[in-house]
Copies of this chain bind each other. A is one copy, B any other.
C-alpha cells in the first residue's frame, strides 16, 4: 500500500499531533520547508490540515496538487476556503463542534452583557460617569430571562449548548435550522425564520456562512424582531447586513447587538467597519475571542488531527462540508455575494 503524504500548514499542530499523523503518513510541515521544496512536494500531497487558509496555496499552486483529496480545517467556519480553486475530488471537512463549549459559554456571556446592559453601563462608568442619578431609568430595558423566549438560528453543537443554558435560566427555547431535537420547537423556511425572530426576546446566530445564510439578517428581518431584543452573533459577521444593522441600532436604542464576530473586508475578518457601530451604546463586541479560547484548550487541533487520521485509515471523515453551499470563486467573494 502506497503511503499517504500529509501537509501540515500551521504550527498549531504540535509534537503529539505530528506524531499521531506520522503513524499513518509521511508528514511535511510547510514551516520547515523552503519555497522550492514546498513546490516539489505539493504534487505528492494527499491531504492537508490548515487553520487560516495558507497564502501559498494559491490557485496556481493548488492546480499542481493533483493527488490532493482531503483538506481539514482547524476552524469551524470554512467560508474563507477557495472552493473554486479546489478540484471537485477534494473533500473539505470543517471542525464543527470542536469549539462548542468555548463558543457556547462566550455566547451566553454576550447575551447577558446585552440583556443586562452590562457593557453599556460599564462603559459609562469607565468613561467617567459618577452620578447614580444619571442611571435612573436605566433598568427599564433590562431583560429578565426567566420566562422569556430564546430563538436559536443554527441548531448544531453551539446552538444545543446555548439551548441548555437557556433552559437552565427558565427560558422557552425555539430553534431554526436543518437539525432539531425534542427540546426545542423547530421552525423552518423564511416564514419560520420570521416567526422565530418575532417571538424571541433574545436570538442567537450559530450557523455557517454559506450562499444561503449570507446577509440572512437584513433590514426586513431586524424589523420583525422585538424592539427590546438582543441579537447575539458567534458565527460570522456576514450573516448580518452591516448597514441595515447599524441603522437599526441607531433608530432602536433598546435593541442590542452582541457579537464576537466581524465582517470580512478584503478577504479577512476585521474590526474595521463601514459604519461606526462600535461606538453605539447598544453594541457589545469582542474580537473573535471564542476561537482562540478554544485553540488554547488544544481540543480543536486534537479533533482535526483525529479526523485526518480517519481519512488516512480509509474511513469517511466527519464534518464533510457540502461544497455546493459555498461560492465557487475565492472565499472572500462570499462576502460580496448577497441573495
Chain A residues with a Cβ under 8 A of chain B: 101-102, 105-106, 108-110, 112-113, 115-119, 121-126, 129-132, 135, 138-140, 142, 144-146, 164-165, 168-169, 269-272, 278-279, 284-289, 292-293, 295-297
Alpha-carbon distance between A108 and B296 when the two chains are bound, in angstroms: 23
**A289 contacts B138, C-beta separation under 8 Å:** yes
Q: Are A287 and B132 in contact (CB under 8 A)?
A: yes
Judge whether B112 and A119 touch: CB under 8 Å. Answer: no
CB closest residue in chain B, given A101: B146
Bound: A206/B131 CA distance, A: 24
Which residues of B sit under 8 angstroms from A165, Cβ to Cβ? 168-169
Q: A138-B289, A142-B293 are in contact. List 5 more A-B contacts (CB 8 A).
A: A117-B289, A125-B285, A129-B271, A139-B295, A165-B169
A124 CB contacts on chain B under 8 angstroms = 287
Interface hub of A139, A145, A169, A287 (most chain B Cβ within 10 A): A287
Most chain-B Cβ atoms within 10 A of its Cβ — which of A144, A146, A272, A288? A144
Contacting pair A271 B130 (CB below 8 A)? yes
A169 to B289, CA, bound (A): 19
Shortest distance from the beta carbon of A116 to any chain B beta carbon, whole Å: 4
Which chain B residues lie closer than 8 Å to A146 at the CB level? 101, 105
A-B pairs, top 5 by smallest CB distance, nearest first, are A109-B112, A168-B168, A139-B292, A135-B287, A109-B116
A139/B278 in contact, CB under 8 A: no
Q: Give the residue name and chain of the B residue nearest to A279 (CB).
A: B126
Contacts of A286 in B (CB 8 A): 116-118, 121-122, 125
Inter-chain contacts of A112 with B (CB < 8 A): 105, 108-109, 112-113
Cβ–Cβ contact A138 & B271, under 8 A: no
Q: Are B289 and A132 in contact (CB under 8 A)?
A: no
Tell me which residues across on chain B come within 8 A of A115, comparing CB atoms: 105, 109
Find out whether the CB atom of B102 lies under 8 angstroms from the CB atom of A144: yes
Given A123-B123, A271-B132, A278-B125, A105–B289 Cβ distance below 8 Å?
A: no
Given contacts A113-B118, A270-B132, contact A278 B126 (CB under 8 A): yes
A112-B112, A165-B169, A295-B139 given; A105·B145 CB < 8 A: yes
